[in-house]
């Protein structure tokens, strides 16, 4: 949300800059802010406190657990057994962990690419539609976005149920009789396919609505100017629309990577990481090792490593953001 | 630090309550000594039929003056819930626990030792059922009830193939399968490649151990020729079936396959028949049961004894009251009543007559004496987490690998799981 409002501020300024006129409103805003230096910090305080309390403290606890040998026995007898880096050494040297990591990255990549492409297309469609159709589509998108994940998973499980699922029934009716009793959750690939469909479907609305919002900030005159210069539809898309959309695309891609990477709910609820633990992604793996197999210390270590990997994945975007802020200062 | 503090407060609290108990009414074990107390009992879904619960509650309240509260638990996620509950200040006083899970919990120190209870009421508990309650030579739970697999068969299919009389030996059973096969109208037996608890029973029959001690740690013993022998028997069963070699009996539910009427038999729990009847009510009159026959007519096949124990939480403040409850719940009267109401195997052989009139229970009972469980070591639980390496071994053998090669293939994974930290 904050990202959006920032952009809307800076965008026209930059465009004016390209035009050759106008000053830099940020600089004036910054000097104003300096005069009332304390106010922003006070405003930040509640959010910071909540973050520290609800995220920071559990994270510290989790960190402490990851250096302990904490299993059923230690939990029941309330023993604290520090074991240094043993958990990390064991996790990092196990082939399972790396297999799950690679799987998580591929899974996230495939989903985010699909989400971004389809979401952008739907967003652009929204911008082009007439009022009534746009409202209809928006309502549909918001409903899909608002559906609680567990409810959505349950619906998908029904859709793809082996014996009474609508999908198999339709395929059967269409002449694919071998699909009548098809078990969609029997193999790794098809389980992932169902999960991907679900996650992409759930994530498109956010991207689409965001992108649609971005297009509303583009002044109409720019398109007129572009067409006067003889730009076709593609050219005006790449040189007018895209520059406006780019920051939004960065931001939404960044958020989608985070959301898909930690999509525990959908993956676990649909088949508990099965068949044969083949659809476990990192958060599911951490849960199954930690809670399922009751190696709480080990689970904590995997969870922390998951955060590190996620940070590495999103480092590119973070760098862009940090660099931008440096430039703006 | 904080944890120590909590523990200290807990310990102090316990001392206070023990002291209170002592000063209030002498020893607290007299007829009315428990008045005002409430005992919490965790029972698994389906283990405590209504009448039994009502009768036990009445008897308990009459004898001790205390109240008892049953809390029914779902199987799903029970281990996690039990671990958490046992680590808290107020654990359930008495709880039901799966027999193969008992050693792991005994090792955690969460279960109270019950040597004296075994001495007072457990002299004639069935030996094979009690084994799971003993850890490191000491009694940590009391056997409650058990269930084991039988041959569930389609009387019509057997009759049409000319099989008269119930097979008494393994050879006779295979002869019957041969006849059904020759007739060509039905699959003689439904045996998927990974009916692992049936295979576990076969290894008990051949006297094989799945794990052995190497120094101070447990390692795989799959390479033992006796395991191979059991697998040979399994392979013979599977050769009569077209079921998938890489699936277990639950995918698809074997009873639902059987319900179609094109299957001679399957090896399963008595209650699985209900699943078949639900899928196809017409099959009910054709369903029969018999004990899985062994090498000779006098000794049935080895079976896996799935069962439940009752245990007392080490952290419970009502140890004596909890023992009183066990004495009542496990008395011949109520043990027999439970067996009758649920159709499960009671904890004493002398009580097996309660199964009369329940064909599945009657078929199951003879195998109990020669039954067994999975290895009773705390490390075992990790082995059965999917993908269970023994299931992988079974599929490999059925797909043509030799016993030795298949055992070697999974030993690394097997040993890794046995070596998991406790």
The mean predicted confidence, pLDDT, of chain A is 86
Task: Answer yes or no: do B172 and B297 share one domain.
Answer: yes
State the nearest Cα–Cα gap between A77 and chain B, in angstroms.
7
Q: Are A66 and A292 in contact (CB under 8 A)?
A: no
Instruction: Report residue A101's pLDDT band, with 50, 70 and 90 as the boundaries.
Output: very high
If asked whether residues B324 and B297 sit together in one domain, one would say no
Residues B228 and B283 in one domain: yes
pLDDT at residue A29 in the model: 63
Tell me which of A288-292, B209-213, B320-324 is least confident: A288-292
Q: How does B85-102 read in b/e, with b if 16+ C-beta sit within 10 Å?
A: bbbeeebbbbbbbbbbbb
Cβ contacts (< 8 Å) between B387 and chain A: which residues? 276-277
Alpha-carbon gap: B221 to the closest alpha carbon of chain A (Å):
23
| Percentage, residues of chain A above pLDDT 90 | 54
CATH of residue A199's domain is 1.10.3720.10
Point out the domain boundary residue: B353, B368, B383.
B368
Asked if residue A43 is part of any domain, the answer here is: no
If asked whether residues B364 and B291 sit together in one domain, one would say: no
Residues of A in CB contact (< 8 Å) with B are: 69, 71-73, 75-78, 80, 183, 274, 276-277, 291-295
Q: How far is B208 from chain A (nearest CA, A)?
A: 27
Token pair 């270590």 is found at: A301
The pLDDT of residue B175: 96
pLDDT above 80 (res A325): no
DSSP B132: G
CA distances from B151 to B132, B270, B294 (A): 25, 9, 12
Rounded to whole angstroms, how far apart are CA atoms B402 and B44? 41
Q: Examine the domain organization and report whether B80 and B182 are in the same domain.
A: no
Dihedral sign of CA atoms B60, B61, B64, B67 in order: positive
CA nearest A74 in B: which residue? B108
Chain B residues 108-127 within an 8 A CB cutoff of chain A: 108-110
User: Six-digit token pair at B113?
Assistant: 């030792």
Would residue A13 count as lying in a domain?
Answer: no
Q: Which residues of A touch B390 (CB under 8 A)?
A: none
* Interchain contact, B108 vs A274, CB within 8 Å: no
Instruction: Please report the pLDDT score of residue A14 as a whole number.
Output: 44
B274 to chain A, minimum CA–CA distance in Å? 19
| Cα nearest neighbour of A291 on chain B | B80
pLDDT band at A35 (very low <50, low <70, confident <90, very high): low
Query: Do B278 and B231 share a structural domain?
Result: yes
B8 pLDDT band, cuts 50/70/90, is very low
The CATH number for B111's domain is: 3.40.190.10
Q: Is the pLDDT of residue B197 over 70?
A: yes
Chain B hits for A72, CB-CB cut-off 8 Å, are 83, 104-105, 108, 110, 422
ipTM over 0.90: no
Which residue in B86, B386, B420 is closest to A76 by CB distance?
A: B86
User: What is the number of domains present in chain A?
Assistant: 1
Flag whether A201 is in a domain. Answer: yes
**Same domain, yes or no: B182 and B257:** yes
Query: Between B251, B386, B422, which is nearest A277 by CB?
Result: B386
Query: What is the per-residue pLDDT across A49-75, written as a single tens digit (0 to 9) for each?
Result: 999 999 999 999 999 999 999 988 899
B19: in domain: no
Per the structure, the complete domain to which residue B63 belongs is given by: 31-146+307-368
What is the pLDDT averaged over residues B200-220?
94
Do residue B36 and residue B140 come from a single domain?
yes
Residue B107 has its nearest CB partner, among A73, A292, A294, at: A73
Q: Do B185 and B206 share a domain, yes or no?
A: yes
| Domain, as residue range, for A304 | 87-328
The yes-or-no verdict on residue B142 having pLDDT over 90 is yes
Q: How confident is the model at residue A28 (pLDDT cuts 50, 70, 90)?
A: low
Both B235 and B87 in one domain: the answer is no
Q: Is the pLDDT of residue A32 over 80?
A: no
Looking at residues B394-403, what average pLDDT do you find? 94
In a domain, A35, yes or no: no
| Chain B: closest CA distance from residue A277 (Å) | 7
Asked whether the beta carbons of residue B107 and residue A292 sit closer than 8 angstroms, the reply is no
- pTM: predicted TM-score of the whole model, two decimal places: 0.74
Q: Is the pLDDT of residue B9 over 70?
A: no
Please indicate whether, in this complex, the C-beta atoms of B108 and A73 are within 8 angstroms of each other: yes
User: B368, B388, B409: which is the final residue of a domain?
Assistant: B368
Give chain B's domain count.
Answer: 2
Per residue in A180-215, pLDDT tens?
Answer: 878 888 889 999 999 999 999 999 999 999 999 999
The fraction of chain B above a pLDDT of 90, given in percent, is 69
pLDDT at B329: 95
d(CA B342, CA B96): 15
Whether B409 shows a pLDDT value over 70: the answer reads: yes
């Amino acid at each position: 949300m904050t990202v959006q409002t920032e952009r809307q501020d800076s965008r026209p300024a930059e465009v004016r800059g390209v035009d050759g006129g106008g000053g830099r409103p940020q600089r004036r805003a910054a000097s104003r802010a300096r005069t009332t230096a304390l106010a922003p910090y006070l405003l930040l305080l509640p959010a910071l406190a909540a973050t520290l309390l609800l995220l920071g403290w559990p994270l510290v606890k989790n960190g402490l657990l990851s250096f302990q040998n904490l299993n059923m026995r230690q939990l029941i007898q309330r023993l604290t057994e520090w074991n240094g880096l043993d958990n990390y050494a064991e996790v990092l040297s196990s082939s399972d962990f790396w297999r799950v990591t690679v799987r998580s990255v591929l899974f996230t990549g495939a989903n985010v690419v699909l989400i971004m492409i389809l979401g952008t297309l739907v967003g652009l469609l929204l911008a082009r539609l007439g009022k009534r159709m746009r409202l209809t589509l928006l309502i549909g998108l918001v409903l899909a976005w608002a559906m609680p994940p567990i409810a959505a998973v349950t619906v998908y499980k029904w859709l793809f149920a082996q014996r009474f699922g609508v999908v198999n029934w339709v395929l059967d009716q269409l002449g694919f009789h071998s699909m009548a009793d098809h078990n969609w959750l029997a193999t790794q690939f098809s389980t992932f396919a169902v999960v991907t469909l679900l996650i992409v479907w759930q994530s498109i609305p956010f991207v689409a609505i965001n992108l649609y919002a971005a297009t509303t900030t583009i002044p109409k005159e720019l398109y007129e100017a572009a067409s006067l210069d003889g730009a076709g539809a593609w050219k005006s898309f790449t040189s007018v629309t895209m520059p406006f959309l780019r920051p939004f695309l960065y931001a939404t891609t960044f958020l989608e990577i985070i959301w898909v990477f930690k999509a525990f709910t959908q993956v676990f609820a649909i088949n508990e990481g099965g068949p044969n633990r083949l659809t476990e992604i990192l958060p599911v793996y951490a849960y199954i090792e930690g809670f399922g197999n009751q190696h709480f210390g080990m689970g904590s270590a995997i969870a922390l490593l998951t955060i590190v990997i996620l940070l590495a994945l999103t480092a590119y975007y973070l760098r862009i953001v940090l660099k931008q802020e440096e430039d703006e200062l | 630090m904080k944890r120590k503090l909590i523990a200290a407060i807990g310990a102090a609290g316990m001392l206070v309550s023990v002291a209170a108990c002592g000063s209030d009414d002498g020893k607290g074990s007299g007829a009315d000594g428990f008045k005002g107390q409430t005992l919490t009992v965790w029972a698994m879904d389906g283990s405590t039929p209504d009448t039994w619960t009502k009768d036990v509650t009445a008897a308990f309240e009459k004898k001790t003056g205390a109240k008892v509260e049953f809390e029914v638990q779902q199987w799903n996620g029970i281990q996690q819930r039990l671990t958490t509950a046992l680590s808290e200040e107020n654990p359930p006083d008495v709880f039901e626990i799966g027999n193969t899970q008992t050693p792991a919990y005994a090792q955690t120190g969460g279960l109270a030792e019950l040597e004296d209870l075994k001495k007072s009421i457990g002299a004639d508990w069935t030996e094979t059922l009690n084994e799971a309650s003993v850890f490191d030579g000491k009694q940590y739970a009391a056997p409650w009830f058990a269930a084991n697999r039988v041959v569930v068969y389609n009387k019509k299919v057997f009759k049409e193939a000319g099989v008269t009389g119930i097979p008494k030996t393994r050879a006779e059973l295979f002869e019957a399968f041969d006849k059904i096969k020759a007739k060509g109208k039905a699959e003689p037996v439904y045996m998927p490649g990974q009916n692992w608890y049936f295979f576990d029973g076969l290894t008990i029959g051949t006297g094989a151990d799945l794990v052995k001690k190497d120094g101070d740690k447990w390692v795989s013993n799959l390479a033992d020729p006796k395991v191979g022998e059991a697998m040979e028997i399994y392979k013979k069963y599977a050769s009569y079936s077209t079921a998938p070699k890489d699936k277990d009996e639950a995918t698809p539910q074997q009873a639902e396959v059987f319900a179609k009427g094109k299957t001679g038999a399957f090896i399963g729990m008595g209650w699985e028949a209900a699943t078949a009847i639900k899928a196809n009510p017409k099959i009910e009159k054709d369903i029969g049961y018999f004990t899985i026959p062994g090498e000779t007519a006098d000794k049935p096949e080895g079976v896996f004894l799935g069962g439940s124990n009752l245990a007392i939480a080490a952290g419970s403040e009502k140890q004596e009251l909890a023992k009183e409850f066990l004495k009542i719940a496990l008395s011949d009267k109520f043990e027999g009543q439970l067996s009758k109401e649920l159709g499960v195997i009671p904890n004493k052989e002398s009580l097996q007559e309660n199964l009369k009139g329940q064909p599945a229970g009657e078929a199951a009972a003879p195998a109990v004496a020669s039954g067994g469980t999975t290895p009773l070591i705390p490390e075992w639980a990790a082995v059965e987490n999917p993908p269970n390496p023994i299931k992988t071994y079974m599929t490999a053998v059925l797909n043509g690998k030799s016993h030795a090669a298949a055992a070697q293939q999974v030993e690394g994974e097997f040993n890794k799981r046995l070596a998991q930290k406790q």
